[in-house]
Structure 1
Amino acid sequence: MLSEGLVDLQRAIDVEGLWQSSLRLVQSTLHHHSCSLMLGINDYEPVAARHHVEQPRRPDYMPATSLAVSRPYLASHPRVQLYTFSQIALEDPQAHERRLAQEAGLDEWREFVHLAFWHEGLPQAVFSVRRSARQAHFSADEIGFFEQIYPAIDAGLHRLRALEQERFKSFAFEQALSRSSSPVILTDARGNVLFGTPDGRRLSERWARSHGAPLDASDLSADLSRAIKARRNVGSNELAQTLRHPVDVDLSVTIDSSWFGAGLRIEPCYLLQFTAADERPRSQERASEILNRLSPSERKVALLVAEGLRNEQIAQRLSRSRRTVESQLNAIFGKLGLVCRAQLVKALS
């Protein structure tokens, strides 16, 4: 049962899954009064928690979302992974008073085991398992059980933090795209639409309708999907590819695979920028007006991009590091409200 429970912990992809897996492990292994997973700890106080009570003395009882009892102990024992209430009480004569104050005078539990999880020297979560006066103190074997599950919960918390960072990056990226007025679609290597601006989705549907096969906004036409797969097969992530619609002569699309290996996703991403010659662009700034919005150093980079040079070539031409060129290019995108090289080339052409 322990091995199955550890596998469940390894599969958890959100806090609720991690909590339920940890709770099932405890319920299947030892007697207890209640369990809590306390999260978002700031100045040794959690801002959120999951609770479960096995046998409350009062039907409305719920443990406090607080580390008031163990705060002094945590502060004086940085990075401690496992401790009990008995250990705290041996060092701190006020611990019993804080326990009753935390529980608003109730006496629901008498002992606990805490697993403390740390990140960059600060506690990020505490998993608490409590016992009442009717239940025995935790045995050496039971402490051994907690020592066994600690690494799995710790790894799960690290994984959830990494996933949350990826979700935040994805959200920020979508927000940046959504502010763009350009008609663009972001897809994976199989042609599945990951994100698109309203105009991008509209022109993608127009592309499909012109083939006589109306599609949902979450799909691409078969020929565009094939074009994306072909670019991946040849490993082309240097130059953008422009396709003109075989029937709707005013419609074209540029496929830019410069997002290949960008780190946002494990697999490649592709940006499709649509152009409709029969629709007036929202902005018709001349190239000179666009360049005036950039610093002299940024203008040099932008013009070399427009010539078709890659970052390494630009760095060599301007005697700069590649990192400096990449930083300046990101600044250019931000100033002009662009998201890729293809858009910059089109703006300056």
Structure 2
Amino acid sequence: MKLILSTGNIMEGGSSIRRDPTQKSNAELVASFRNNFAAHSLQTDGMVNGNGTAKTHRSNYKTWTHMADDGRMELEVPKLSFDRSGLQEEREQYDITLKLFYLSGAPIEKRAVQTREAVNLVLKELHMPSLNLLIISFPGIYFDEEEDCPDKISTRGPVEAEPEPLESQIETWKVLEQLHKEGIVRKLGIAEFGHDRLQTFLEKTTLRPSVDQINLRDCCSVPKSLLKLAKSQHVELLVHNDCSNVLPRGTVRELLGPGPDGAGVLAETTKPEEKQKTLHGEAHAPEEGLKGEVQPLWVVKYTAVVKNRGVVEDKGYFAVAELTE
């Protein structure tokens, strides 16, 4: 079963997530999903807490999610609604940027379908026909490892995934080239490419990337060799602060699980006899929820900026995971 997670527009009043610029985007991602799930799943029950606030309870996930009714095994968390007005101005008033994270463990051969799905979800959400820039992030690539950084410091911790062969990345790039050819995407970009990888990539691709987005977390300055290459090939270097592993498998289970901070979509993984006993010595009744193993497939982050004001009007995330028994 496919699980489609969405945050909605996190810039809207009550749901806006104000993130510290030094904080990794993973914290924003998790908080945004959690807030959106709570907004749809929590209901007041007419009772009042001791501090005067209304008591709430979490409703059954079936009341606020949506299962595709055309035979597809797809669950929207929460139910998607594309009937809102979307962006308020004409298309040319916006810079719309997407960053698509391919996640470790997801099948490489399905990226063509996944890429189009991610782009289509965002365009439907924004009610727009095209976007300005699509950046793709491959798992297992770290800018500081791509470069011999003189100012390198070790802060990352364990390597989360091994980088895939450059040939697989070039094959994936062909999907983006087709989107560009169709007029859906105006510019393409990659993330974390150091000098050597970028040079080889430029030599082997027909439509060259316009942007290389790099994380200077462990490398305090951009190496001169990369600066020279990027300038000579008209590749814009942009700095970002995104997590390398933006949505680990355990994070998805925490977000959707039955715990106090979960959405109650997934069932408890422990066996009934292993559940915590009550004061009377009786086991808690198992909570209703979907069972199985979760594999995150991809995450897309999108922003729509009003050009003449530099204001972010819409920002959010979609993610897709596979649930298998």
Q: TM-score, normalised on structure 2?
A: 0.26
The structure that is strand-richer by fraction is: 2
Q: TM-score, normalised on structure 1?
A: 0.25
- Which protein has greater RCO, CA pairs closer than 8 Å, 6+ apart? 2
The structure that is helix-richer by fraction is: 1
